[in-house]
Amino acid sequence: MKISVIGTGYVGLVSGACFAQMGNSVVCVDVDAQKIANLNQGIIPIYEPGLEEMVIENSHKKTLTFTVDSEYAIKRAKIIFIAVGTPMGEDGSANLQYVFDVAQNIGCYLEDYTIIVDKSTVPVGTASKVQEIIQNELNIRNLSIPFDVVSNPEFLKEGVAIDDFMHPDRVVIGAENQKAIDIMHELYSPFMTKNDRFISMDIKSAEMTKYAANAMLATKISFMNEIANICERVGADVNKVRHGIGSDSRIGYGFIYPGCGYGGSCFPKDVQALIKTAKDSHYTARILEAVEYVNHEQKFVLVQKIIKKFGDNLEGLTFAIWGLSFKPETDDMREASSLVIIKELVKRGANVIAYDPKARHEAENIYLKNYLHVSYVDSKYDALKNADALVLVTEWQEFRSPDFEEMKKLL
């Protein structure tokens, strides 16, 4: 099929590459000319295992191309995926301006029956607004062109996104037209040859499914962090408790690892957006509010432990940080706990030496660009030299079995 993906961020790039891998003809569009130029040279803007190889392979096969020409991309496609960002507004709501701008563009250039797919995570009711915007543009052009707007939320986990897309545990499609459902089923069938995990529903339910899924996972994380805090105070071992409850098939082991709070591009934004959606519908989502509050406080737990050990004045002290990304196997630092921890340490006069296998560039050039008391090294052991303490933030595999004798010498 001829597919166009508008937006070459995390979701758009992974989706485009994986559709191309299955033999579809895919064009990815972005307004960022430099990013498109880099992609055409095989330079990938994000780290995701297996993505670079897949993009380069399909670019060589000409099944995957990149352009800034949205008119061309819209006119040639049978299916158009909207995969632009929906950043969080000050009130917690999702900013849909980029989605609506794309919808307007589609309305300007649409020539034949096309399925427009909301791949971006958007609040309930967004598809209706997208449909209205496209229809308004067609009315201005005095054209009657049939089209369908479909919701197809993504459930990709950073670090294993390629595998998630190529072997999905479910494909959720929200549509009001059986023709659109059938075409989307045809598109995704090659990804489900062993077991058909295609789930169709109405559009609003599909839009809600993504938020509900992320909110549930965030709830498990905050719940386990709360249990960890209680365990610490009463003398219980949270890891033993985790094994004890995880063995219950109704609970399972997924997302019950205690840590310093969730981050990334999805959970923080989606939980807050769902809270805002509830408020707009005159309902107070108390569980979600608690999940958000616990997560916010959890990001300060390691800082509080450091203050308890060294006092509130950290001048003259150096702290080694292992891990900057919000989770392993990604360079994504959006809403990362490391940012809160580092800023709190620096605020109290500390020096920080940080190491991360992939996220150094993000920290050094974007998130901690002007922090003079933060320096970076290329080895986890280099970070320990003469440091007063090690703060282990992100559970990269290389941190699981370190040389403790070497650590003892260096710290």
Residue numbers annotated as active site: 266
Distances (CA, A) of 197 to 117, 170, 173, 192, 406: 19, 5, 11, 7, 49
From 353, 342, 357, 340, select the one nearest 396 (Cα to Cα). Answer: 357
CA–CA separation, 154 vs 306, rounded Å?
A: 38
Tokens 């280099």 label which residue? Answer: 382
CA–CA separation, 207 vs 150, rounded Å?
A: 10
What pairs with residue 199 in β-bridges?
A: 172
Give residue 159's identity as a one-letter amino acid code: G
Helices (H), 286-347: 286-298, 301-310, 337-347
Please give the DSSP secondary-structure letter assigned to residue 117: E
Q: Could you tell me which residues come within 8 angstroms of residue 89 by beta carbon, excluding any fewer than 6 positions away? A: 95
Burial class (CB in 10 A: 0-12, 13-18, 19+), 223: middle
Q: What is the CB neighbour count within 10 angstroms for residue 42?
A: 13
Beta carbons of 141 and 174 less than 8 angstroms apart: no
Q: Is 354 left (phi over 0), alpha (psi -120 to 50) or beta?
A: beta
CA–CA separation, 387 vs 243, rounded Å?
A: 34
Q: Which helix (H) or strand (E) covers residue 352, if one does?
A: strand 351-355
Distances (CA, A) of 268 to 59, 130, 219, 273, 406: 34, 25, 11, 9, 37
Tokens 């922090």 label which residue? Answer: 371
